Structure 1
Amino acid sequence: MYRATTNGIQVTVEPMYLPDQSEPQQDRYVWAYTIEIRNLGSVPVQLRTRHWIITDALGRVEEVEGAGVIGQQPLILPGEAFEYTSGCPLATPSGIMEGSYSMELPDGSRMEVEIPAFSLDSPSVRRVLN
């Protein structure tokens, strides 16, 4: 698990390789990741946008931006959490994802919340710590 907390918003990520959806012989590797966004603060926040930076094992970078997550812009009350699962395909057997959420506060202002960098590793790749 990977975890980061920004201004009272805790983001936890758990990635999982999906061998049944991957086709290594065709350079297609697929992961699911489950994210929990927990509001440890004292005011509600609403997730408005997401920004992902996805880097494969060859250093190729793809940025993805959009409204909400999985078609939703959840309002997360103090002490509550929102959880969702999504996925990511890569052309290499490993990579890294990181990013941020833009959260709207009750006064209409926004804050950026870190999504911790997390590793996408297929079981066929030997892990190397740098």
Structure 2
Amino acid sequence: MYRALTRDIEVVVEPFYLEEQSDPEDDRYVWGYRIVISNNSGVAVRLVNRYWNITDQNGVVDEVTGPGVVGEQPRLSPGDTYEYSSGCPLDTPSGLMFGHYQMETDEGELFDVDIPAFSLDSPGLLRVLN
């Protein structure tokens, strides 16, 4: 698992290879990832936007931005946890993802919360952070 802590908001990522959706002979490699966001701060926050930097093993970068996650903009009160799963296809057998969530307090303050860099490695490859 990979962890990042920003302003007492913890983001934990657990990536996993989706063999049943992958087809290496067709250069299609698919990973899922589970993310748990824990608000350990003293203020409520809403996840309003996301930013992802996805880099394959050839250094090709895909940047993804948009509102919320998986169609939601969850509000986390102090002590709340939010969990979701999503996925990422690549044309190469390994890659790297990192990013941030833009959060907003009830008072309208916007700030970024880091998503830790995590490695996407096909089974059988040496597992390293690219």
TM-score calculated relative to the size of structure 2:
0.97
Q: Deviations over 1:78-107 (max 9, x none)?
A: 011000000000000000000000000111
Residue 126 of structure 1 corresponds to which residue in structure 2?
126
1:16 equivalent in structure 2 = 16
Look up the SS of the partner of 1:79 in the other structure: coil
CA distance in 1, matches of 2:33, 2:4: 15
Counting only pairs closer than 5 Å after superposition, residues 9-88 of structure 1 correspond to structure 2 as 9-88=9-88
What percent identity do the matched residue pairs reach?
A: 58
Deviation at 1:66, TM superposition (A): 0.2
Match of 1:111 in 2: 111
Task: Summarize the alignment of residues 79-98 of structure 1 with structure 2, pairs less than 5 Å apart.
Answer: 79-98=79-98
Q: Which amino acid aligns with 1:52?
A: W
Looking at structure 1, the residues matched to 73 and 50 of structure 2 have their Cα atoms a distance apart, in angstroms, of 10
Letter in 1 for 2:62: E
Aligned to 2:7: 7
Which SS does the other structure have where 2:63 is aligned? strand
Q: Check 1:80–1:56 CA distance in 2 against 1; reply closer, same or farther (3 A cut).
A: same
**C-alpha RMSD of the superposition:** 1.1
Distance 1:106 1:86, change over 3 A: same
5+ residue gaps, structure 2: none
One-letter code aligned to 2:33: Y
Separation in structure 1 between the aligned mates of residue 28 and residue 129 of structure 2, nearest angstrom: 24
Contact 2:98 2:118 in 1 (8 A): yes
Q: What's the offset of the Cα at 1:129?
A: 6.7
TM-score (norm 1): 0.97
Return 5+ residue gaps in structure 1 as ranges: none
Classify the secondary structure of the residue corresponding to 1:42: coil
| SS of 1:20 mapped into structure 2 | helix
CA distance in 2, matches of 1:45, 1:128: 33
